[in-house]
């Protein structure tokens, strides 16, 4: 009989549903060491939280994370609230001896990230940042192939994470566009994913030269905050985060790279793409076709080389054997289920799965270097936190 | 408080997991009229059934479908056992007043399908055949666009459902390759999906000229059935179904079409593709890229026309608003969840969702015409059962 | 110093320019055994012919093919006039001892094709039918790979040649839509290319079951023929050829295939596509991306197999070394240049290049079987002419 | 009767053949104001030059460009020799009153480019730099669409020109890898094309932050230069140009961009790709599929928006009506023919076609800023030369 493990969850919106689903699906499809019990869902808006709880089977709802994270019947705390709240919750949870899974980016500042990491280390709990794209089967396959040496020595990283949900200047000033809550804009929200993928697949980033841009500088206040302005028009407020961030990077191993994160790339919904060129081959991936991995190999016979589309849905591919036969693709939410599965295995093995809080802190150091470079206009070396 | 509705499920393998998941997910993500209770899972191999039941939360397991389908606490019977068992189970369930959801194809013969349909009609229960590909958002969007007249008068259907899981002649003689259990091979298993999609999107098929082929005529017996032959080699048995089926078709509305269903298309895992050409535009779809719909319109300005890849992941697209933001694609299993959602809505509305058993019987009539044409070498008119 | 060889050319429209260009380019880019002299261009409309002659450097223009093909200073006759004129010109040319290159299809009837073939054989001249798509580098590469056994035993052919230039019912009744001149419609014009490719790549076709369709049965007369009808409207005439032709086929070697040729596939400009599935791999090609060959191989390591896009622009690929560096693709007209190059080499080697008139006659036999099947509704065996 | 115009051509290798072909083809396919006479081909290696001259019909061969560019019977000088020779030839030609077409990049330094521009301006001759990719029909179509406002205000440029012909460290140290002759490496050779396209389609570049890298620092000397080293191995020499160059850019109009030019992108043969995102739509192009333009428009109905592949082979598209029917694509060399056609029209109109030497000098200013930024590690403003 599988042992159970109890989860407290902080958050309830988009990410709330993605995580709730993952906690439910993990044990249904995978052979996990613990069967998760969805114990308590915690949100400021208890009414909204109750709806998610009902939909996904959380046993209880609670309005105070402080209470939830210290309950003795809780083993795991999963944090999906806005970035400015991560630090306090994570530290409290770790100090209470809970294992902590935290949505990305780990924090809004490097200092906060470090504090979270140290707290988890001191408490000796399992920690993990949910950079979920690592756990797309095609990406995990890319990692294996690179580790096998199949593309040789890496020379180029080319990462573009493109979205377009704020192209319209009338799109309102939601929390993700406010620096105080979100920390940064495209950079921290989606650029952080690119950084995580680059570090996972290529190696540590040494230095960056960056540019950020806010194309639409004012937006209508969201309905909840809104009111008529003095002149009778819709009230507006300043956008305090970047719409787009671009940077060049050097890697410790000699590779070089370009990165772009933007929410203004009309026609790109969730175009988290990367291409890696090595001395023996190349690899490319785009989340909009998440079940495919592109691969080129100089080991193929001359005259018959070409970019190969590997449909990463074979039972041989990472995570896939738990699901469906070849050619029956997976979707976005599966990456969260895989994260939960690995987190549970990490707890059983008493070793934090990657990226743990230390690793997430290093990504935060890259974000910080980018912001500093964008402000100063010069190359900035990335602090090595490990 | 949502009313509950109780399900008995027959089957437990690949389809057992897909359906179990759908019954669980429907109420978590959609606003359904009833919350399904996973009451009893029924399978000949009770041990194997118990594993699936544990994984997905079925309350009970049972070895006799006869018993399960007549239990007074059961509202719905969902049938995923091999095709040769559909008739008896469905008729018993209907006669017991249960609503019946049945995997495709409806039956192994037209006569069986008719009997099932008549039983459901007489009992006045809700019935549905699970041709799940209809409920891929991109396909449901195609249906809307065709219904809106966006591609005009349809002239061509081009359907190819290609797989490759039996390319290797050493792949064993599993039940799907045995006529007595499966009815037919690629034709009934995957060709039936193409027929359903063609009938859904284009209209009724009038006549067919067909060819079937079994490329590998003998295969090793599967482990369970196997033994050493007299000569000491691995025992083999005859493949009694088609590896591939090809047919031309005329439609009632003047369109013409080609169809191909094969399990021998090396490199095609689940390539359920169709293209439809009309007088004003065209549409194409391939399940291996299930989140995309291809669309060409003569209404676009001259010189700027082109095939457009619609990423069918917008909240505006059918079924999508229940899931994730744009660009965060769905997977194979979601089509089953959508089927369950529509089935529950059909029960609430007291109207069988399409394709119901009548509709499934018409698809069976096409299958029968194809087999007769393949045997006789002449065009065969499709019986109109409605 | 390279020997020269003199060409008489019959025709001057679309194909006139494609062939004229080929005769000019052959010696500029390839090491050919003879340097072609563009001696005389022959066309009924001498004015129009003179324009083409001026553009491409034909030395003379002439209104009578009878005269041109018998001139003693002519070595080669190249025939690009409508299909109903091929027989007489080719026979006259062969009897005058000229080598004959003829546009496809060889003739409008099998009887005519045979007469042409016999005349060429009797006169012992070099003959060739210009099925130019064979000489796309990617297609010639496919042939090499199949010959090397790289896709194993062939099981499936899937050929679709789709165009859309007559989708509009107001498109006029040009000569290609008139049976007396063109012989057939999509079938002979583009379906013939598919047959040639299938025979080249897969093998001889044994039998066919076919369907033809004319969707738009009347069209406006072209300007030249037009007049006001009695009722004051634009005069119309009947379309006497097929808009589309579909057929199933069996091959001598056990493969089976589907074919479709249509001018009514909205959005497909020149979509000459085929896919071939074999026991070890598969190959696919689409002329709209003529510089690419798709290839799937079961010899690639498990878990890393995928469809590979070979950019067939390497110097290693057939014909390519005469042109540009890798990645600098070729266009439509290059296929004609390659045909001329091979024709010149055939003359030097005293051996007709493939497809010669014998081979073209066999394709004509397939066309004839398709027409008979479409009329009779039964499978028709293909006459073996060789 | 069309007037003739006489051309002297300097160079004979890869570019020699591309230009020779263009001079021949221009009048065959286009209605040009002058019929070019291929008068004299000039190359240091007269033997090699004679071969090209014979192949393409140049009347004479000559070993001294000084002599050729001053001949009174010459109207046009076309320069395709290495970059370090451009300045002297162009200035001499202009001073002799010849119209000058020059391969890109205009020169190896900004000072040289300016001198060339001033000479052409002073002599009042027609000048043009052959950034041929502008004249791909799909790119010229993109320009039209952007000018029409179809993608709105431009926000992002994303240009990657990727090749892989020097991935192998044993590839020899050809002249393109030597700073003294080539000026720079990937930057000037292919990055210059990206800059030209960005300036053509987006607007002037204001400032850049750049990184260059030479991955393989020593290579074998080419056969001509080679000898055994003291230790008996193959003699090697230092690579003195960049293998790759990356830069961020700001544009005058507020757009921002990333650029990458590399010869080390394994699997990318001639991947000259760009994507432009605007407030109403987006456009993308990749030369490896040169007949296609990708277009996304927010003006398409919600729920039916998508990236549209425009097959830029319609007679409506720029340059195409001179060639073949829709769907019959063009190749690499056609872009040169288009350049020659526009150059001839420019002469007739007494107005230099774009990009003229002034425009080419501005591109040179961007190249110079990139090199300075790569050396200094800071953002560098681009000098405005106009």
pLDDT digits (tens, 9 = 90+) for C234-293: 799 999 999 999 999 999 999 999 999 999 999 999 999 999 999 999 999 999 999 999
Beta strands per DSSP E along B214-362: 218-220, 236-238, 244-251, 256-262, 271-278, 281-286, 292-297, 307-311
Question: Among candidates D300, B309, B298, D312, which has minimal Cα distance to C266?
Answer: B298
Helix axes D110-123, D86-95, angle to 10 degrees: 10
Length of chain B: 386
**A-chain residues within 8 Å CB-CB of C145?**
304
State how far residue B318 is from chain D, nearest Cα, in angstroms. 10
| Residue B232: partners with Cβ closer than 8 Å, 6 or more residues away | none
| Chain A interface residues (partner C, CB cutoff 8 A) | 141, 145, 293, 295, 300, 302-311, 314, 316-317
**pLDDT at res. C255:** 98
| Chain D interface residues (partner B, CB cutoff 8 A) | 141, 145, 293, 295, 300, 302-311, 314, 316-317
Query: pTM of this prediction?
Result: 0.97
Would you say B5 and B347 are in contact if contact means Cβ atoms under 8 Å apart? yes
Q: Which of B57, B163, B331 sits opposite A329 (nearest CB)?
A: B331
The string of pLDDT tens digits covering residues D87-105 is: 999 999 999 999 999 999 9
Length of chain A: 386
Q: Which of D302, D304, D316 sits opposite B303 (nearest CB)?
A: D316
Q: Is the pLDDT of residue D205 over 60?
A: yes
**pLDDT at res. B1:** 47
Take residue A81 and report the two structure tokens written for it: 């609230």
| Residue B380: partners with Cβ closer than 8 Å, 6 or more residues away | B207, B208, B209, B210, B369, B370, B372, B373
Rounded CA Rg of chain B: 21
Would you say D150 and D142 are in contact if contact means Cβ atoms under 8 Å apart? no
> C321: which DSSP letter?
G
> Could C311 and A309 be called an inter-chain contact, meaning their C-beta atoms sit closer than 8 Å?
no
DSSP three-state, residue A106: coil
**pLDDT at res. C269:** 97
Phi, psi of D381 (to 5 degrees): -75, 145
Tell me whether residue D7 is exposed, middle or buried, using C-beta atoms within 10 angstroms of its C-beta: 0 to 12, 13 to 18, 19 or more: buried
State how far residue A303 is from chain C, nearest Cα, in angstroms. 6
Domains along the sequence of chain C with CATH: 3-133 (3.40.50.720), 135-380 (3.30.360.10)
Tell me whether residue B303 is exposed, middle or buried, using C-beta atoms within 10 angstroms of its C-beta: 0 to 12, 13 to 18, 19 or more: middle
Q: Which of C268, C326, C334 sits opposite D331 (nearest CB)?
A: C334
Length of chain C: 386
**pLDDT at res. A225:** 56
Cβ neighbours of B31 (radius 10 Å): 10
**pLDDT at res. C233:** 65
Q: Is the pLDDT of residue C99 over 60?
A: yes
**A-chain residues within 8 Å CB-CB of D262?**
155-156, 277
**Is the Cα torsion angle C170, C176, C178, C183 positive or negative in sign?**
negative
The string of pLDDT tens digits covering residues D43-75 is: 988 998 999 999 999 999 999 999 999 999 999
Would you say A182 and A108 are in contact if contact means Cβ atoms under 8 Å apart? yes
Helices (H), D100-191: 110-123, 137-147, 179-182, 186
Phi, psi of B139 (to 5 degrees): -75, -40
* N-term to C-term CA, chain D: 39
> C269: which DSSP letter?
S
**pLDDT at res. A14:** 83
CA distance C152 to C173: 45
**D-chain residues within 8 Å CB-CB of B137?**
none
Rounded CA Rg of chain C: 21
CA distance C145 to A195: 42
Whose tokens are 């140049």? That residue is: D58
**Is the Cα torsion angle D281, D136, A277, A256 positive or negative in sign?**
negative
Question: Among candidates B169, B61, A359, which has minimal Cα distance to C279?
Answer: B169
Percent of residues, chain C, with pLDDT higher than 70: 97
> Could C306 and A304 be called an inter-chain contact, meaning their C-beta atoms sit closer than 8 Å?
no
Question: Among candidates A314, A333, A270, which has minimal Cα distance to B337?
Answer: A333
CA distance A271 to D307: 13
**C-chain residues within 8 Å CB-CB of A140?**
none
Please report, to the nearest 10 degrees, the dihedral formed by the alpha carbons of residues A162, A25, A130, A114 taken in order: 160
Interface test with C, best of A291, A300, A308, A311 (most C CBs within 10 A): A308
Beta strands per DSSP E along chain C: 3-10, 34-42, 60-62, 76-79, 99-103, 127-130, 154-162, 205-213, 218-220, 236-238, 244-251, 256-262, 271-278, 281-286, 292-297, 307-311, 380-381
| Chain C interface residues (partner A, CB cutoff 8 A) | 141, 145, 293, 295, 300, 302-311, 314, 316-317
Helix axes C14-29, C46-56, angle to 10 degrees: 20
Would you say D218 and D254 are in contact if contact means Cβ atoms under 8 Å apart? no
**C-chain residues within 8 Å CB-CB of D313?**
269
Tell me the average pLDDT across D123-151.
98
Q: Which of A295, A304, A311 sits opposite C295 (nearest CB)?
A: A304
| Chain C interface residues (partner B, CB cutoff 8 A) | 151, 155-156, 158, 160, 162, 164, 167, 209-211, 213, 215, 244, 246-248, 250, 254, 256-258, 260, 262, 264-268, 275, 277-282, 296, 298, 305-307, 377-379
DSSP three-state, residue C373: helix
CA distance D275 to A383: 33
The string of pLDDT tens digits covering residues C167-177 is: 999 999 999 99
DSSP three-state, residue D230: coil
**pLDDT at res. D37:** 97
Q: How many B×C Cβ pairs under 8 Å?
A: 116
> Could C304 and A310 be called an inter-chain contact, meaning their C-beta atoms sit closer than 8 Å?
yes
Ranges of residues in chain B whose predicted pLDDT is under 70: 1, 224-233
For C51, the closest chain D residue by CA position comes to: D28
Tell me whether residue A236 is exposed, middle or buried, using C-beta atoms within 10 angstroms of its C-beta: 0 to 12, 13 to 18, 19 or more: middle
Ranges of residues in chain A whose predicted pLDDT is under 50: 1, 226-228
Take residue B267 and report the two structure tokens written for it: 């490199």
Tell me the average pLDDT across D347-375.
98
> Could B24 and A21 be called an inter-chain contact, meaning their C-beta atoms sit closer than 8 Å?
no
**What are the residues facing C6 on neighbouring strands?**
C37
Would you say D146 and D281 are in contact if contact means Cβ atoms under 8 Å apart? no
Take residue C46 and report the two structure tokens written for it: 């001498």
Question: Among candidates B241, B275, B297, which has minimal Cα distance to B159?
Answer: B275
Helix (H) or strand (E) holding A155: strand A154-162
CA distance C189 to D220: 54
Would you say A56 and A22 are in contact if contact means Cβ atoms under 8 Å apart? no
For B317, the closest chain D residue by CA position comes to: D303
Question: Among candidates C100, C131, C70, which has minimal Cα distance to C347?
Answer: C100
> Could A163 and B288 be called an inter-chain contact, meaning their C-beta atoms sit closer than 8 Å?
no
DSSP three-state, residue D100: strand
Would you say C65 and C89 are in contact if contact means Cβ atoms under 8 Å apart? yes
State how far residue D165 is from chain C, nearest Cα, in angstroms. 9
> Could A14 and B324 be called an inter-chain contact, meaning their C-beta atoms sit closer than 8 Å?
yes
CA distance A315 to A336: 19
> Could C256 and B213 be called an inter-chain contact, meaning their C-beta atoms sit closer than 8 Å?
yes
| Chain C interface residues (partner D, CB cutoff 8 A) | 14, 17-18, 20-21, 24, 27-29, 55-57, 163, 165, 268-271, 287-291, 311, 313, 323-334
**A-chain residues within 8 Å CB-CB of D254?**
215
| Chain D interface residues (partner A, CB cutoff 8 A) | 151, 155-156, 158, 160, 162, 164, 167, 209-211, 213, 215, 244, 246-248, 250, 254, 256-258, 260, 262, 264-268, 275, 277-282, 296, 298, 305-307, 377-379
Helix (H) or strand (E) holding D364: helix D357-376
Question: Among candidates A136, A190, A122, which has minimal Cα distance to A363?
Answer: A190
| Residue C98: partners with Cβ closer than 8 Å, 6 or more residues away | C8, C69, C74, C75, C76, C77, C125
The string of pLDDT tens digits covering residues C301-358 is: 999 999 999 999 999 999 999 999 999 999 999 999 999 999 999 999 999 999 999 9
Residue B329 gets the label, from left (phi > 0), alpha (psi -120 to 50) or beta, of beta
For B379, the closest chain C residue by CA position comes to: C377
């Amino acid at each position: 009989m599988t042992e159970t493990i109890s989860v407290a969850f902080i958050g309830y919106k988009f990410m709330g549903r993605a995580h709730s689903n993952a906690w439910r699906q993990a044990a249904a499809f995978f052979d996990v060491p613990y069967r998760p019990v969805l114990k308590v869902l915690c949100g400021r808006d208890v009414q909204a939280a109750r709806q998610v709880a009902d939909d996904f089977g959380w046993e209880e709802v609670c309005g105070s994370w402080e209470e939830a994270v210290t309950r003795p019947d809780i083993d795991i705390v999963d944090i999906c609230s806005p970035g400015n709240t991560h630090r306090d919750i994570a530290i409290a949870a770790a100090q209470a001896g809970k294992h902590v899974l935290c949505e990305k980016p780990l924090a809004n500042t490097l200092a906060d990230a470090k504090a979270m990491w140290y707290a988890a280390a001191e408490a000796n709990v399992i920690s993990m940042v949910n950079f979920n794209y690592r756990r797309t089967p095609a990406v995990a396959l890319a990692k294996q192939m690179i580790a096998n040496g199949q593309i040789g020595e890496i020379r180029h990283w080319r990462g573009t994470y493109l979205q377009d949900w704020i192209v319209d200047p009338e799109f309102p000033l939601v929390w993700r566009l406010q620096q105080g809550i979100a920390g940064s804009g495209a950079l921290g929200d989606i650029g952080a994913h690119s950084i995580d993928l680059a570090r996972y697949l290529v190696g540590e980033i040494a230095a960056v030269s960056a540019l950020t841009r806010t194309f639409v500088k004012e937006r209508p206040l969201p309905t909840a905050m809104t009111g008529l302005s003095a002149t009778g028009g819709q009230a507006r407020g300043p956008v305090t985060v970047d719409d787009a961030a671009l940077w060049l990077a050097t890697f410790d191993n000699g590779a070089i790279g370009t990165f772009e994160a933007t929410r203004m790339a009309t026609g790109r919904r969730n175009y988290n793409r990367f291409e890696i060129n090595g001395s023996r081959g190349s690899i490319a991936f785009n989340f909009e076709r998440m079940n495919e991995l592109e691969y080129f190999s100089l080991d193929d016979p001359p005259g018959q080389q070409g970019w190969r589309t590997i449909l990463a849905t074979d039972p041989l591919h990472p995570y896939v054997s738990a699901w469906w036969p070849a050619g029956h693709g997976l979707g976005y939410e599966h990456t969260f289920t895989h994260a939960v599965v690995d987190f549970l295995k990490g707890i059983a093995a008493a070793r934090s799965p990657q990226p743990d809080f230390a690793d997430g802190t290093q990504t935060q150091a890259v974000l910080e270097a980018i912001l500093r470079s964008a402000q100063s206009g010069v190359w900035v070396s990335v602090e090595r936190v490990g």
